[in-house]
Structure 1
Amino acid sequence: MIVLAVAYGGAFGFGLPRAAYRLSVEPGEPWRAHLPDGRPLAGWFGAEGGGGPRWAPAGVCALVCGALGAACGIRPEAAVFVGVAPLVVLLGIVDLAVHRLPDVLTLPLAAATAALLGVAALLPRAAGSWRGALCGGAALGAAYLLLFLINPAGMGLGDVKLALPLGVALGWYGWGVWAAGAFLGLLYGAVYGLALLLTSRATRRAGFAFGPFMAAGALTGVLLGGFGA
């Protein structure tokens, strides 16, 4: 399972630069259709993008998928978590580039994660609860929506939408895992923000991409839940 997960993550991740380059635009702008040198950019999947390291996404995806494969083992939810992980990595890349989490990825990801876990719940050896997954997605989405309403300058709607699939994944293994993943996402982001302030690399009003920290917290929670199960 681990070998298959690593191979899948590496292969998928190697094709992410093109999708990341296409999606890394400011709100309201069309997706990129040409490379910086003016050549047309055909398709969404491939190693050719707008520059930057091509192997980094493949390495990150391989590592994440391998860790999920090790934690979940030969259980049906493993295929779901490993399958959607590269899309979460893609969202993190785009968020780091332009501080944006496109709806074209977040909303379908939430629907796909919920639907696939629903199928997994019907199969033998499933170690989670589909009802818990749905409740977890709704709860984390509502929590981030509340944070957005309290402080719109510090939380984007993209973060609220990303919270839906992450909450679904965390809720699968129960409320303890959900709480751990939700808290760790906030903690990782807070530690990074504090580090920026202490090193004078940002001011208190400066924003940064929060999606990767949400995803890291959710990954930690799912790993804990998988190994615990």
Structure 2
Amino acid sequence: MGVFVVVSGLAALYGVAAGVLLPAAAYRFSVEPGEPWRARCPQGHPLGAPLGPARCRTGPVPHAYGRRALPPALLTGAVCGALGAAAGARPEAVAYVGLAPVLVLLALVDRAVHRLPDPLTLPLAAAACALLGAAALAPGAAGSWRLALLGGAALGGAYLVLHLVNPAGMGFGDVKLALSLGVALGWYGWGVWVTGAFLGLLYGALYGLALVLRGSATRDQGFAFGPFMAAGAFTGVLLGGFGA
């Protein structure tokens, strides 16, 4: 139990530190489809570092823009802490905890502009494959790299079918995000894969139904689905990690 507490605490601290760096990146990537990534703050000054608080120190008066740092820091810290507790001292913890801030960033951007940028989704999928592949070579791993790769291909293929059937309801960015989520879920086996994939769809469906019942949206109106995919995969990985 002590090891799990230590790993969870360190993971949470890492998540908080990483979350503080997300607002500047979220502002840069939160643009409508077809528009270039933001290169200037709202007052027209060139953006500085790609990571960090969304605060511009150029000009006579420093000013903040975009998101505040505290909410993403707390969210990322909670996510990383929970993943650290689930994976414990097993080598896959490095992959799950290390990549979680990127997933939080994607959720923030998708919620803001209904877009999942390729510079984030595609490297995330590659990094998930590479890090879990390295974890599979280390002693104490509780999953299968082969199943992780199959899980990524299967979930990506399933979302591709949904995109082809209904492009307006399922964006191609969701398909690319599904690759990394499928890898993360497949590591712990098909039971976890099915659970995480189903919960992502369920969370999104319940949210959409709530919007319709509340009168905030019509049946045909779209919403950001990436955060619900991520939440479903997060739940599945927690169940798989604790179960292992």
Same fold (TM over 0.5): yes
Displacement of 1:59: 0.6
Query: Comparing 16-25 with 43-52, which one deviates more in the overlay?
Result: 43-52
2:33 pairs with 1:27: yes
Give the equivalent residue in structure 1 for 2:20.
14
Displacement of 1:54: 2.0
SS of 2:217's equivalent? coil
Provide the C-alpha distance between the structure 1 equivalents of 2:206 and 2:12, rounded to a whole number of angstroms. Answer: 29
Give the equivalent residue in structure 1 for 2:58.
none
Amino acid at match of 2:35: E
Deviations 1:169-189 (A, max 9, x none): 000000000000000000000
User: Which structure 1 segments of 5+ residues have no match?
Assistant: none
1:188-207 equivalence runs, <5 A: 188-207=203-222
Match of 1:101 among 116, 120, 129: 116
Provide the C-alpha distance between the structure 2 equivalents of 1:100 and 1:51, rounded to a whole number of angstroms. Answer: 17
Deviations 1:147-201 (A, max 9, x none): 1111111100000000000000000000000000000000000000000000000
Displacement of 1:93: 0.3
Provide the C-alpha distance between the structure 1 equivalents of 2:91 and 2:35, rounded to a whole number of angstroms. Answer: 39
Give the equivalent residue in structure 1 for 2:44.
38
Match of 1:143 among 158, 175, 189: 158
Q: Which structure has the bigger radius of gyration?
A: 2
Give the equivalent residue in structure 2 for 1:3.
9
1:208-227 equivalence runs, <5 A: 208-227=223-242
Aligned residues: 229
Give the equivalent residue in structure 2 for 1:176.
191
User: Which structure 2 segments of 5+ residues have no match?
Assistant: 1-6, 56-64
Runs of 4+ in 1 over 6 A off after TM superposition: none
SS of 1:69's equivalent? helix
Is the 8 Å Cα contact of residues 12 and 77 (structure 2) preserved in structure 1? yes
Deviations 1:77-115 (A, max 9, x none): 001000000000000000001000001110110011001
Work out the percentage of aligned pairs sharing the same amino acid: 70
Provide the C-alpha distance between the structure 2 equivalents of 1:51 and 1:114, rounded to a whole number of angstroms. Answer: 32
Provide the C-alpha distance between the structure 2 equivalents of 1:177 and 1:38, rounded to a whole number of angstroms. Answer: 47
Amino acid at match of 1:120: A
What is the Cα-based RMSD across aligned positions, in Å?
Answer: 0.8
